[in-house]
Amino acid sequence: MRPNDPSQPGFDYTRFNVSHWQKFERMLRHARQQDMVISVIFDWNDSPVHPAADSEDEHRYFRYAAARLSAFSNVTWDLGDDISSYRSLDWSHRIGTLLLQWDPYHHLATDHPVDNKHQDRTAEWFGFTSFQEWHRPLHQWMLDQRKAQAKTGRIIPQVNEEYGYEEHYPSWSPNKPDNHSADANRRVAWEIAMAGTYQTTGETAKRGTGVWPDTGGGWVNGRGDDTMVMLQGYVYMVDFFTSFEWWKAEPHDELVNHGAFCLTEPGRVYAVYLPNGGDVTVKLAPGRYQASWFNPRTGETTSLPAVDGTAWTSPKALDNGDWALLLRK
């Protein structure tokens, strides 16, 4: 009704703006062609306008979205952003269970709370967690989430969906401002990945559409400019993890020393991350392994001599920056 006024948008949940849904579908098709998965977020806290909880209008809205969008292979569901600010966990369980029934393809679903306790971990509809945890460091915190999930007897991905944006939120953050630089966030992403968990992030909200200087890019619309460098570092991280079957590896930091992190499928592959360079000793299953250095800051790979035996100490890294090692049988 009033698309230019996010605080008073004038939503009408009794009927549907078909042209808007068609526009959304065109975006999903384009994203699918680019091999991108889109999180369909049904609601968000920044808008004070919500349908009445458990009302016919609310059910109609969720049912209609599932009917229109579930045929797309590249969607996941999110019941709402900062949802614990305006809905209860009991509500999430009820509407999530209904959404599972209305979606014939059973796409992964979650909701994104302000309070990290708002997690329906054992429910069938709940396909992955969606945390908002900013405190650094995050490696051990994400390991603890894996352990908490394992105790339920139901294994699902653990995702920290908000831990940092490029040069964003330094004013109220519990950490120093430089902990939200492009490089600092890239390092935290490695911490999270090396815990066998997942993360999402975005570029800066300090510039772009609606924020001076208005460059036409920015955080909300995803159109970056040349000042935004963080996501290039994430490209290198993707290159590293997709070079082996990372989804079969589990965290075993007890196999390494000097504060390094280890993901392993024992006897097959060992991925090791050294936050501050140096060397590392890795406990291995018997066998012969190919070894290589990986520079997370440049994406460069350097081969090392083959490794034999049940324990191996790496040469020292070339500098005190962060480095990764990959050993494959």
Express each pLDDT in 167-198 by its tens digit: 776 555 555 656 778 899 999 999 999 999 99
Burial (0-12, 13-18, 19+ Cβ within 10 Å), 76: middle
How many degrees, rounded to 5, is the angle at CA 92 between CA 220 and CA 46? 30
Is there a contact between 99 and 123 (Cβ–Cβ < 8 Å)?
A: no
Task: Please give the Cα distance from 65 to 252 (Å, whole number).
Answer: 41
Q: What pLDDT score was predicted for residue 45?
A: 87
Q: Global pTM?
A: 0.92
CATH architecture, domain 1-127: Alpha-Beta Barrel (3.20)
Residue 208 has pLDDT above 90, yes or no: no
The label of the residue with tokens 């975006």 reads 27
Give the chain's largest Cα–Cα span. 68
Q: How far is CA 7 from the centre of its chain?
A: 27
Across the chain, what does the average pLDDT equal? Answer: 92
- C-alpha to C-alpha distance for 107 and 120, rounded to whole angstroms: 16
Residue 258 CB contacts under 8 Å (≥ 6 apart), including other chains:
274, 278, 279, 280, 281
Element (H, E) at 145: helix 139-151
Q: How far is the C-alpha of 208 from the C-alpha of 148, rounded, in Å? A: 39
**Cβ atoms < 10 Å from Cβ of 99:** 22
Domain boundaries, the chain: 1-127, 141-242, 250-328
d(CA 83, CA 142): 21
Q: What is the pLDDT of residues 22-81, one digit of tens each?
A: 999 999 999 999 999 999 999 988 878 899 999 999 999 999 999 999 999 999 999 999
* Closest to 180 measured CA to CA, from 193, 191, 169, 189: 169
250-328 to CATH, choices 3.40.50, 3.90.70, 2.60.40, 2.60.120: 2.60.40
Q: What pLDDT, on a 0 to 100 scale, did the predictor assign at position 210?
A: 63
| pLDDT, position 110 | 98
Percent of the chain that is helix, strand, coil (3-state, to 5): 30, 20, 50
Terminal-to-terminal C-alpha distance of the chain: 60
Average pLDDT over residues 292-299: 98
pLDDT tens, position by position, 118-157: 999 999 999 999 999 998 999 999 999 999 999 999 999 9
> Cα separation of 184 and 142, whole Å?
17
Q: Which of 282, 276, 131 is nearest to 200 (CA)?
A: 131
The proportion of the chain whose per-residue pLDDT surpasses 90, expressed as a percent, equals 76
Q: 51 φ, ψ to 5°?
A: -65, 155
pLDDT of amino acid 275: 98
Amino acid identity of residue 245, one-letter, is E
In which element (H, E) is residue 293 found? strand 288-294
Q: Which sign does the torsion angle of CA 164, 169, 175, 176 carry?
A: positive
The candidate with the shortest Cα–Cα distance to 285, out of 252, 311, 261, is: 311
Q: Predicted confidence band at 228 (pLDDT cuts at 50, 70, 90)?
A: confident
Geometric angle at alpha carbon 111, from 107 and 114, rounded to 5°: 160
- Portion of the chain with pLDDT greater than 70, in percent: 91
Rounded Cα gap, residues 105 and 284, in angstroms: 41
Residue of 284, 112, 272, 135 whose CA lies nearest to 194: 272
Asked whether the beta carbons of 166 and 230 are under 8 A apart, the reply is yes
